[in-house]
Structure 1
Amino acid sequence: MEPARALADAARELAAQATLSATLDRIVALAKTLVPGADSVGLVLARSGGLRSVAATDRLAADCDTAQLEAGEGPCLGAAGEEGTLLVVDLADGRWPGFAAGAVRRGVHEVLACPLVGGEWTGAALSLYAVAPGAFDHRAQDLADLYAVHAAVAMQSALRADDLRLAVVSRETIGRAVGILMQRHHLTARQAFVLLSRASQRVNIKVRHVADLVVTTGVDPDDTAELVRLAERVAGPRRGVRSRASTAEQVEAARLRAESAASRAADALHRSVTTLLSVARAHERAAAVHLRAAAAGGADAGYHRRRAAEHQRAAAAARRTLRARRDGSGTG
């Protein structure tokens, strides 16, 4: 099957998955099938926290992804960051000593790591592992790059759908907790929600978690000690009840929060610029793949030229936005 048709079929299959976990599992499975030379495939993703392994075709890929995350180095971290697609043909080159030795012991000879670019995460990469030397040629790299664009679109849609599902569940849980408190304490809906909100602030957990504890255990939001105990039993030790601080402590805490907010704002701007640059590069690579396919001729040449033009326009738009943000922030 021609690469363009295989990618189109893969995109349709990814879009047909019913859940986030099914989409992630299918992303790695299709990558192994589509990209010549791939023996194992893993996927790492970072949203609100650091990178974590979210899908793998087998134990080899899972172990290799985990080894990179634990070592804090490796091609998947580079691809998920700012380095773009990385093809490693010699793991013994000394670049990632904390990861390479273990990978070689597991029989891995080559790694092809491709970034997945999207607005629903701060970093993501698809890692393809080969046990045979010379497994990944330029055709495999081009195909992996193009597939990564389709995978990113599917993953972004799945994450948004999952977030919406969680939001609906949270709203239902909060509504049930409000109803319980209205009946128990003869409150209005607003008063019951205020009770949940104040408990959330006291014990430093989200309102939906307080509501879930009220619904599942019957605990009263005013019973701070029991709320803390139950929350720690469910999710491990938390920061607990906030104690009353002195004025000096409050001033210091406010200063630290301001510094933290400024740091988060700077990090967000950096991630935004990095994401836009990755998006532009991904579209440029995709355009190059389609242009090469068009140059080869054949019945699909017109299709490939149109797709190349679409990717070129998308890349140009991303770079215009990137320049505007850099100019606005004063970054170089």
Structure 2
Amino acid sequence: MPAVSFQNVSKSYRTARGELQALKGVSFDIEPGEFFGLLGPNGAGKTTLISILAGLARASSGAVRVHGHDVRQDYAAARRHLGVVPQELVFDPFFSVRETLRIQSGYFGIRHNDAWIDELLDGLGLADKAGANMRQLSGGMKRRVLVAQALVHKPPVIVLDEPTAGVDVELRQTLWQFVSQLNRQGSTVLLTTHYLEEAEALCGRIAMLKQGQVVALATTSDLLRGASSNVLRFKTDDALPPDLAAQARVTGRVVQLPAQNALDVERILARVREAGATAEDIEIRKADLEDVFLEVMTGAAASTAAVASPLPTEELKA
């Protein structure tokens, strides 16, 4: 039985401009114990899908189940099996950290939960803040409390919706160490993030959404193997010729361009020289998940988007 199952899920909204289709027949399963990534650009439908899973929104059609429990018909059991860390910082300003976690435990009928609360506080670096009022905490510390709240009832499925957005490196490391430990102990993790290096390092399988549809669904290793090219990386202070600029991924001085082989590398560097530009710190690297993501989102890599899923129940939609 899947830990989470999305079956032909669609969601539409009525707007002043007409009907907006946020999700269009999304179907895939997440198996127990998986660390699963859900990726996509802003507006792709990721948060809508998670809101339906968490019961904050209702699907227009289709079914969503958590450990076999339908999120609409058997919502109480589905909620007990699910812990969600939202994007937004939501907290009650009148309670301390420990009181907040005790109250959250009470929502699920759990008494005498201090031993697990202490473990959460220690694992998430909150032990010295247990008595602090929520208003006194920094944004990063509040984010840690949200994670603790999601885990306080020991749910078998953990949903992390942009958990490291706007937080420091220390929190990222602390969070991923703790969540990875829970995953090794059998917890299922569903992660959405715009930090693709995190998804590449953590997730065994990934689904990519674009305009409410699944456009890629495969193991992370298969997606990386399906990348269409290597990447030529160099630094320059000069303008690129237009034909290269149209293909380049530029971050400050750093330029990255797809290169199939040595001939492509020679051609690109020759074009740079012809344009009067200077390339420094030249290197060639394997394509990473960000390269694959950009190829899939722009439709430039049919071979990547056509990677077959290893599980027969899953669908891949181009």
TM-score of the superposition, structure 1-length normalised? 0.22
Give 1 or 2: higher helix fraction. Answer: 1
Structure number with higher relative contact order (C-alpha < 8 Å, ≥ 6 residues apart): 2
TM-score of the superposition, structure 2-length normalised? 0.23
Higher CA-based Rg: 1
